Chain A
Amino acid sequence: MVVYEEKYDVVVVGAGHAGCEAALAAARMGCKTLLLTINLDSVALMSCNPAIGGLAKGHLVREIDALGGEMGKNIDATGIQFRILNTKKGPAVRASRAQADKQMYRLRMKYVLELQEKLEIKQGEVTGLHLEEGVVTGVDTKVGVRYPGKTVIITTGTFMRGLIHVGLTSYPGGRAGDLPSIGLSDRLRDIGFTVGRLKTGTPARLNGKTIDFGRLEVQNGDEVPVPFSFSTLSIDRPQLPCHIAYTNERTHEIIRAGLDRSPLYSGIIQGVGPRYCPSIEDKVVRFPEKVRHQTFLEPEGKDTVEIYPSGLSTSLPIDIQFNLYRSIEGLERVEIMRPAYAIEYDYVDPIQLHASLETKPVSNLYHAGQINGTSGYEEAAAQGLIAGINAALRCKGKEPLILGRSEAYIGVLIDDLVTLGTKEPYRMFTSRAEYRLLLREDNADLRLREKGHAVGLLPEKEYRAFIEKKEMIKEEFARLKCCRITPSDTDPGFLSTHGLAGLQNAITYEQLLRRPDITYRELGRIDPCSMEVPELVREQVEIQIKYQGYIERQLLEVDRAAKLEGTQIPRNYDYKSLSGLSAEVREKFIKFSPDTLGQASRIPGITPAAITILSIALKVLKEQ
């Protein structure tokens, strides 16, 4: 083994969506960083859907951006269709989504990595970890180089012992066209990690020239694309449409006829797949009464004819795939450019992580992305960013950045993973966030910019812009609280439109905006000044005023939980010495070894009484 001459602060294994954020964060925070990938031409590759965002995922991207991550900027620069979802619902569940130009997305990200100071990216397959007394000190590659690193972040995606299935045929691969990573998961198992197996899948890529788009429903992006990043001013790239097609009874018959050669139904696939992203055969079997299933035909880029048919992932044999896709109206002549497949891969049970994403068994080792059992580019990037930040903070001898469940979807994501673990690929949904009304896309900057700045990740220019926005919001609030309308001086037409004809006393603009029927636009009729306030400021002020009641309720709950969340449990706390716990509860505490009382309270099967006993014992410990 050749020991490489440089010693890195942070070594990142894997250059997917988690690895890129991790490496950029660490380097931007001033750490000497190395990013290793099996294939330099697959950096930030979108292995599945060529899209970023969606419900809860868009939220994650905005949070990543607010903290100083790259994903939002990258999609803004390479997106080919932008849409805001749920515009008819409230602000908390509005979310951004964009189709990406897949090749441009990966190339831009690679270029950003290449230009980043203090960051080196190299091709190389990591097969082993080098440990000294329970602390990781470097990684070993297949060709015999040891790269020393103070900290190591593993972001292997679906690559560890990846096994690709098309019908009854299977072969090792990290993704179609890429080699798997062999050896690393065995090494992790040897070290003492619990390694499990998950499964996911992707549809075929279709040749757009062989699709009769004229017969399909068109879905266009928003007229004015709204960027993901708080720093992107506008998006002026041309936008491409998606198309909507449907399966039919014949498609379903073809699928049923192929089930005997399905690796899923013949029991060949052992890994657990995601409930929310079933293959088309799964949907047909589980919902036989449904006469059709929808698919969005998404362009993979502006310089390619490849089309991604969402919702049609399958692991059925290739001959079934031909017939399946061609049975769909508009796709009768379709040519498959890349077959659909399922992939099984190793993941490491995330309850073996601290909320910093550092592993419990090995110090200075961090895991992020699909290795932790998640699914999705955004979930991966969010973890990568946190792992990168925390590895860098470790190098600087500082406390880790841990986001609470009330602060960010990233906090919910990581807390769910490290306290509950996961049995299937974990995807974020807004319903997972108990403080959903607080965690909106629109206020991600207000929630997280300060934190990004504090750890040294946010460029000064972006931080100043944020401070300015915050000031303006404050001023606008102050203005609305003191400006009033009086019944005598106000346009009677305005008053009667809004049922205020009988108004006796003056009311403030703030009180006015609280009414469901009065928006800023309406207010503008009697208050021309308000139209001079920047739109993003107005949006923020209006949301906060309109939802004040519910927001305050959630804040109250956050307050109540704060005590538990803030109480740390010492590492290696001896639960055996704690009298008063049932054997079952004690075992759970030992297995999950929670970092805080808050985490402990969320472990399934832990009673409030057990938490009380633990809290008393911790207080005793503290006073001794």
Chain B
Amino acid sequence: MYISDTIAAISTPVGEGGIGIIRVSGENARKIAGFIFVPHKSGGLKSHRFYYGRIINPADGTCLDEAMVVLMLAPKSYTAEDVLEIQCHGGYLVVQKILELVLRQGARLAEPGEFTKRAFLNGRLDLVQAEAVIDVIRGKTEAALALAQHQREGLLSRKIADIKEGIAESLALIESCLDFPEEDIEFAGNAEITNLVGNSLEGIDTLLRGYSEGKLLREGVSVLIAGKPNVGKSSLLNTLLKEKRSIVTSVPGTTRDIIEEVVNIKGLPVKMLDTAGIREARDEIEQEGVRLALEKIPLADLVLFVMDASRTFDSEDLLLLDAVEGKAVLVVINKCDLPVILSLPPEFSAWQTVEISTATGYGIDKLCNQIYATFFHGDAVDAREYVAVSLARQRDVLIRSADSLRTFIKNFNEGLNLELVAVDLRDALNAVGELTGETTADDILDLIFQRFCIGK
């Protein structure tokens, strides 16, 4: 919500275009250009001129990409602020890395619609256009919220929640010393606080490593393929992948581990998990596979409930039906090329159903559309943008939080006053709070009152 800081975002759809554009707006735009861009011909950048050169990480001098750069000084720019546009190669990782580099130089990731908002607030748009701005922000926010909703239930958000809890607890311990000096309570030792903070920092660092390997992009949305044995789960995954990766046989119960693959569905990277067939297991190894499969269900954003059109609905299907209670489910009826015997019980009426045949390829496109639609309603929304934006935001937030935690640990160990180091801890907490929701002063007091018997 700050008007005076510098914002940045990727302004082209991610992943598929030939070029990617990173846009930076605000008073630091020119400075950032100076930090990261080395023009082919030496000399400063003039406003509104294109320059060819290289994007360099000033920290280690490595070159990220060749790029065209244009600097548009205020007020002659879209936002009426200093604007920097970097055009680079359009691959997801390159664009993302350059954005991260920009963010590290003191820019903040733009909110949805924020460039337009600034344009308006700086008087570049008229009143009629203002209404449109509101619609854009609303549309984009809702899409981002929808995605966040899916992520909230996922594994990643759980990890972030754990990290936040650790920070909040350490802050509560410190605040208890500050606000309740007269109470007969045992204050936490320094070791407990450094441990808690250390664990949170480690958690963040682990996550951050995941981002830089591009791994978490795939964790954006996860779809679990589940069903009783031999309904064609692995064939489905292979059809989606269009290549054979997992062993497919007609012996029931072949897939025993979880198989993970990323499938590109309409540009949206989707993590597909293929699991063991759900049934009363016949041996220990199979039992392990079934256990793994059931464990994964709560973590998936969407479950594909795969059934065999040529077999009747039976007790094994019922097992899975119990396990997916409360989840987002898409019913996939496979083997539709064979004579249809299956009839679905009424419990299934609430879910969308898609008929396919992995043998003939029938219905696969429809299935992809349906998976896509589950996550993103409406045509106006570019799903890929949100996956990318939300990942960049997570990373940005985590980096800021980690920086604050490191400052905290250093100052805390040096014996700086508690009310000062509390500021660092609060910064770290607020940063993570941007992803998971704010921790209020009252929440911290709650933690204190839960742990300590306080009251004079």
Contacts and interface: CB of A to CB of B under 8 A. Distances in A.
Interface of A: 49, 54-56, 85-86, 89-90, 92-93, 275-278, 282-283, 286-287, 290, 292-294, 296, 310-311, 429-432, 434, 436-437, 547, 550, 553-554, 559-560, 563-564, 579-580, 601, 604, 607-609, 611-613, 615-617, 619-620, 623-624
A573 to B, nearest CB: 15
Contacts, number: 135
B206 interface: no
Contacts of A607: 141
Contacts of A311: 455-456
Contact of A579 (B131, B141, B180, B446): B131
A282 B454 CA distance: 11
B420 A579 contact: no
A224 B246 CA distance: 81
B343 interface: no
Nearest to A412: B441
A294 B137 CA distance: 55
Given A431-B179, A609-B113, 19 more contacts: A49-B456, A55-B181, A90-B420, A93-B418, A275-B449, A276-B445, A294-B183, A429-B175, A429-B179, A431-B178, A434-B441, A436-B422, A607-B141, A612-B1, A612-B117, A616-B117, A619-B120, A619-B130, A624-B127
A434 B420 contact: no
Nearest to B126: A623
Contacts of A56: 179
Most buried by B among A92, A579, A609, A617: A609
B121 A613 contact: no
A200 B183 CA distance: 19
A608 B1 contact: yes
A563 B3 contact: yes
B184 A294 contact: yes
Interface in B75-117: 111-114, 117
B456 to A, nearest CB: 4
A465 to B, nearest CB: 29
A293 B181 contact: no
B181 A85 contact: yes
B138 interface: yes
Contacts of B423: 437, 550, 553-554
Contact of B178 (A89, A276, A283, A580): A89
B426 A580 contact: no
Contacts of A49: 456
Contacts of A89: 177-178, 181, 417-419
27 contacts: A49-B456, A55-B178, A56-B179, A85-B182, A90-B419, A93-B178, A276-B445, A276-B455, A278-B455, A292-B184, A430-B179, A431-B178, A434-B426, A437-B419, A547-B420, A550-B420, A553-B423, A554-B423, A563-B1, A563-B3, A579-B131, A580-B138, A604-B440, A609-B138, A616-B120, A619-B130, A620-B130
Contact of A601 (B1, B442, B454): B1
Contacts of A553: 423
Contacts of B442: 432
B121 A619 contact: yes
A48 to B, nearest CB: 10
Contacts of A432: 441-442, 445
Contact of B456 (A296, A430, A619): A296
Q: Which 9 A-B pairs have the closest CB atoms?
A: A90-B417, A294-B184, A609-B141, A580-B134, A580-B138, A287-B453, A431-B175, A310-B456, A278-B455
Most buried by A among B117, B442, B454: B442
Contacts of A293: 184, 453
Nearest to A92: B419
Contacts of B2: 560, 563
Contacts of B134: 579-580, 613, 616-617
A616 B4 contact: no
Nearest to A598: B1
B419 A613 contact: no
Nearest to A609: B141
B185 to A, nearest CB: 9
Given A563-B3, A611-B1, A613-B137, A277 B182 contact: no
Interface residues of B, number: 48
Contacts of A608: 1, 111
A276 B454 contact: yes
B444 interface: yes
A86 B1 contact: no
Most buried by A among B177, B419, B454: B419
B316 interface: no
Given A429-B179, A609-B112, A283 B135 contact: no
B57 to A, nearest CB: 27
B22 interface: no
Contacts of A277: 455-456
Nearest to A432: B441
B131 to A, nearest CB: 7
Interface in B424-456: 426, 440-442, 444-446, 449, 453-456
A72 B82 CA distance: 52
A55 B1 contact: no
Contacts of A276: 445, 449, 454-455
Contacts of A564: 1
B397 interface: no
B133 interface: yes
Nearest to A292: B184
A213 B342 CA distance: 86
B127 A616 contact: no
Contacts of B446: 275
A89 B187 CA distance: 14
A554 B183 CA distance: 29
Contacts of B112: 609
Most buried by A among B112, B417, B422, B449: B417
Nearest to A563: B3
Contacts of B138: 579-580, 609, 613
Contacts of B444: 431
Contacts of B426: 434
A371 B201 CA distance: 44
A579 B139 CA distance: 12
Contacts of A436: 419, 422
